[in-house]
């Protein structure tokens, strides 16, 4: 699943993180799990997480044994909403290096 369209114009690393998190909205992911889903450096991951947290697009749940990152509810697309399908321009933008 992909994050809502209105959040896809962000930095490529941020979009990659959001897409990975949207796939597991209830369980969330640890930083290590995110690294396995997003092929980015730890430095880029750190910057992306910081930016997403500042914009309230992710929630960080710190429990006793681990820290789990979850997408904010507003980032998760409505499965009944057809407008969340990727447009031709979105697909083209994802394929071309900018």
CATH code assigned at 53: 1.10.10.10
Question: Which position has the higher pLDDT, 91 or 33?
Answer: 33
Number of domains making up the chain? 1
Is the pLDDT reported for residue 82 higher than 60? no
The predicted pLDDT at position 1 comes to 72
Give the domain extent around 46. Answer: 5-76
- Please state the pTM of the whole predicted model: 0.76
**Residue 84, in any domain of the structure:** no
Q: Is 3 left (phi over 0), alpha (psi -120 to 50) or beta?
A: beta
**Residue 89, in any domain of the structure:** no
Cα separation, 73 vs 93, whole angstroms: 25
**Residue 88, in any domain of the structure:** no
**Residue 10, in any domain of the structure:** yes
**Residue 18, in any domain of the structure:** yes
Task: For residue range 1-55, list pLDDT tens digits in order.
Answer: 788 888 888 998 999 999 999 988 888 899 999 988 888 888 999 999 999 999 9
**Residue 83, in any domain of the structure:** no
The predicted pLDDT at position 84 comes to 44
């Amino acid at each position: 699943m992909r994050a809502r369209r209105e959040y896809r114009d962000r930095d490529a690393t941020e979009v990659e993180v959001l897409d990975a998190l949207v796939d597991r909205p209830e369980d969330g992911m640890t930083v290590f799990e995110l690294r396995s889903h997003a092929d980015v450096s730890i430095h880029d991951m750190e910057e992306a997480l910081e930016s997403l947290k500042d914009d309230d697009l992710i929630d960080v749940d710190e429990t006793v044994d681990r820290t789990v990152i979850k997408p904010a509810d507003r980032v998760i697309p409505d499965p009944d909403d057809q407008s969340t399908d990727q447009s031709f321009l979105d697909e083209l933008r994802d394929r071309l290096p900018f």
